[in-house]
Chain A
């Protein structure tokens, strides 16, 4: 073990299942290399737990390269940890110092129930997407480049919104557990494209209705979501969604 390895103390939320009560448990994490990612640190801790015959800590992950949105974790009170615009899987242990205590909690929202330890059910996001987060078009063959007239500005606005990986950090960061940054991003990515126009009213109405049904809170414009978003989605998407929803509502659109 090289000398720059760190010994950390973890306070981790452990919960057997969705119905069981949970609590913060102290776990030591000795011999952590600064080159590890945060998830690799947890892997190391889990290996040691398994060697001792204990249950490993359950946490979500998939790509481990910051693009899938599966990893989560509120680390020391901040979704995805202390580094701006970085997912937990891309956070490195060199950001921590020997002897640090790190508190690790799951996303907290009634719409995201904890299934086990740090894993929450983000199915609510899937149901919101299914309610209107798509365009109903026959795609046919791949269209020629530039066949659809659209300005660079509009294309950029759509692409910026489409960067959302649906991780749920916005909900986790919001004191109201509001999903408006996520839903706003999904509404906005289509609202800026010609393909999104025919269903624009319907989409805003359906996705907001589903968002409300899932029990997410209402936005109070604190903008914590934008600050916590690993992809830096701007709150402008919330203003755009509100505009689309209010216009569609006032029109009595169906």
Chain B
């Protein structure tokens, strides 16, 4: 289906999220949508899929003007948007999930639905167990399910807003294959991403947004520098690796054991020096989050001890860890990290040290303004956090980490950030390392792991590797290790997948629900 967006405008107060965007996407295209954080990508996609309403502008599908008042309306016109939010998935079976939103008959036609969707899945080469509980699916599987549901409802335009965060490399490949197949059938795909190499690999056209306007389009072969130039109006270079001058031991794990759901950590020994950055690599849900949360005092230690600055913190509460300078930043922004309904200034007031009894609004505003400037957040002190763009929410989350912490435990710290912001953010983080703070972070981006870590631990199917020296490891090597190859000798047996269980996914990051480590994956 051909899509024409004509002069789409959407203002939020003074912010022109979409400022007259005109874009034509021919049928059968996989259209990449690029742009820095806050450029207006999500807004445009939400308008196209009926979640938001444009202030002005028209939408034409196959030459016919359409008005979409709601997502249900949009799907009737054949436009479906795919988003991942496990919190929206109630504990129900896959098939029942499918029937939600199916055009109304009083008695759900379960059998029909099953055979139709199974047929669809088969034709796309996907395999999904329709009788399973939704909660037991991995993020990638949920995505496939949602995709099938939209297709079954008749979607001919599929919108994917940053769909590749949190799915495994194999699942990403599956997703891409499926999308290519759909495009070949004449379906139109809109693909929003900050990962240029994915756009390069998948897309057959690219549009770049900047400050609510369309600033350029490109056809393959894409030149990454040119795309980046359009996105930021300047060149972006990652710069040199940061050198680390490790100080005294800050964190020491002695034979640490912990478990949650089917994931178990055993006998992990690790010393983290002041100034050091440790990257945790591996498939989502292989124990990385469990390690971070255990180090934050959020999960009980089953064996061994945790020392911070020489003090034994084993068994202490999260708040005690926090008081001693351990900062934990969760991956899910609006679920665990930020408080929708409160403004940016409120958030900073909430995390103030020694706040006193009465709120000092003036001080709150000043702190907020200072952090907004320092972390380059697009927003004002009074902006409710839920009104920020995804990337700006991420910056706000990191801006909340108190100055003067000792150890930062970061889950996917740059998830959803644009290329330039990733570089900027890491320069800020590394500044803190220079002042003697240490970082342990998880990431699914191998380049990020290699570039910013000093040492890397690889989690795979029940084991944690010996720390790797990030400077001498290559992307390919790391990729293979994540996929299960061992480097020199056998990795230490420190994580083990919990056999049996109740078939539900381990709830690793509090909100993450991903399957057991996928053996032989990638």
Whether A and B are associated in the same complex: the answer reads no
- Which residues does A use to contact B, with CB under 8 Å? none
- Which residues does B use to contact A, with CB under 8 Å? none
